[in-house]
Structure 1
Amino acid sequence: MFGKKLETHIIVLNDLDDGREAVRRALETAGAEDVPGLQSALRILDEAASAEDPKIRWTREVLAKAGIDPLEREVHAVREVRKELPGLSLVGAVDMVRALNPDAKGR
């Protein structure tokens, strides 16, 4: 209302714990022929649970596609992230870009 811009918020849901627990329970009662497949499924779910934060991965992909090094050209990187996600606040974009460089957290 009255021309106020809406800010975009990013929420990433990652609920693999229930799936991993279900596979673990299935392993307890599985027949010998099903065990290798369930163990493989459990490894895949464990790897997915420990994978890189999706926001960081998305930011890295956006900047790689644009050919921008976020460490050398932070301002350009922030602008590119905001261009790809209209409505993202400046603070949100800066946080996402700085998350790519753990040494930048103190700035």
Structure 2
Amino acid sequence: MKNTLTATTSNNIINTIMQNASEQISEVATSLNETSKEKYNKKISLIENASDMTTKEKLDAMDHCYECITHEAWQNVLLYVGVSVTIIGFAIGSPVAIKSFKKLIA
């Protein structure tokens, strides 16, 4: 059985996998961000339209809401970075796995 897995083929496979994974991660991150914005915009709208709150209570509630937005945004950034680093780690480790696989089938 002839080994048809070349360095170029394996690099193309790795690049394709990394590109697809990064696109999916970006889509998920964008979706999370949009959902978060919608959720907090709705909360702020409810706070602004509340008739049973004083101005100070409204301002305090809005400040808390903005703190939550910032906290959630940082969580999303850290999650995105963590997943990206993991994918890069797999991509760097993949050539070793491919070489081992080549030796196994050779």
TM-score by length of 2: 0.37
Structure 1 or 2, whichever has the larger Rg, is 2
Q: Flag the structure with higher helix content.
A: 2
TM-score by length of 1: 0.36
